[in-house]
């Protein structure tokens, strides 16, 4: 069990918490043990979401709620967590029952992601939020989005959110039409018209058609928020 402690940057005072986090219910059932990691997994799900949310909030002070949510979803998805669990060797340390082992449980994303959540809950229970936050920051060290990627997610989210709002309000979708382009070939500027079902048109520019569409969607969202206010 020394490997997770080393990688997570936390030395357990109550090592029994780590042992429980690495004990699958199948092993507990087969060996008559009272403790397994399901309760810690429940806590770890909330701990992980808070720690990741806190770190994204700190890293991207201008990002909107929608883009932060998308970034968090990618980080805390089962495949993402299972990959991190394998990276730190949890797949080799997890205590599994013979039946679960025989069914390939040690390779299953859900089993590994649950185990990782349980380990993070154990860190939180043993060392508090600061310890859990440090562990999450280290765990995802090579996965935190770069600023440019965050901007793309934010822009993409503008179009998604606008489409959802327009469909709900009008029962139709926005229409984007390329109208013009200007400037030298190496620095072309594209102009797009966004047409809403109520007849309103919004013109926006960008270094590509996609960016122009994203800028138009952002302006439309700002207009809609202003109307609502």
Active site residues: 45, 117
| DSSP structural state of residue 185 | G
- 207 by DSSP, 3-state: which? coil
> CB of 51 within 8 A of CB of 67?
no
> CB of 24 within 8 A of CB of 108?
no
Whole-angstrom Cα distance, residue 77 to residue 74? 6
Whole-angstrom Cα distance, residue 159 to residue 218? 7
Which of 22, 7, 47 minimizes the C-alpha distance to 106?
Answer: 22
Task: Tell me the CA end-to-end span of the chain in Å, nearest whole number.
Answer: 55
> Can you point out the beta strands (E) in the chain?
175-182, 189-195, 201-206
Whole-angstrom Cα distance, residue 107 to residue 167? 41
CA–chain centroid gap for 187, Å, is: 34
> CB of 123 within 8 A of CB of 92?
no
Q: Which residue has the tokens 């918490």?
A: 17
């Amino acid at each position: 069990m020394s490997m997770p402690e080393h990688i997570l940057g936390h030395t357990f005072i109550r090592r029994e918490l780590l042992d429980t986090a690495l004990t699958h219910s199948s092993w507990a059932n087969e060996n008559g043990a009272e403790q397994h990691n399901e309760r810690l997994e429940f806590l770890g799900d909330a701990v992980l979401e808070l720690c990741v949310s806190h770190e994204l909030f700190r890293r991207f002070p201008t990002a909107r709620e929608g883009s932060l949510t998308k970034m968090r979803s990618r980080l805390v998805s089962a495949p993402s967590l299972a990959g991190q669990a394998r990276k730190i060797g949890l797949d080799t340390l997890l205590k599994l029952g013979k039946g679960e082992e025989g069914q390939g449980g040690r390779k299953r994303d859900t089993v590994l992601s649950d185990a990782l959540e349980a380990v993070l809950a154990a860190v939180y229970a043993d060392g508090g939020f600061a310890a859990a936050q440090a562990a999450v920051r280290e765990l995802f060290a090579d996965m935190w989005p770069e600023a440019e990627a965050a901007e793309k997610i934010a822009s993409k989210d503008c179009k998604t959110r606008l489409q959802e709002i327009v469909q709900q309000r009008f029962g139709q979708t926005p229409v984007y039409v390329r109208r013009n382009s200007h400037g030298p070939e190496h620095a072309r500027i594209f102009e797009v018209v966004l047409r809403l079902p109520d007849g309103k048109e919004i013109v926006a520019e960008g270094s590509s058609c996609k960016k122009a569409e994203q800028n138009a969607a952002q302006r439309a969202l700002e207009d809609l928020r202003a109307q609502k206010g």
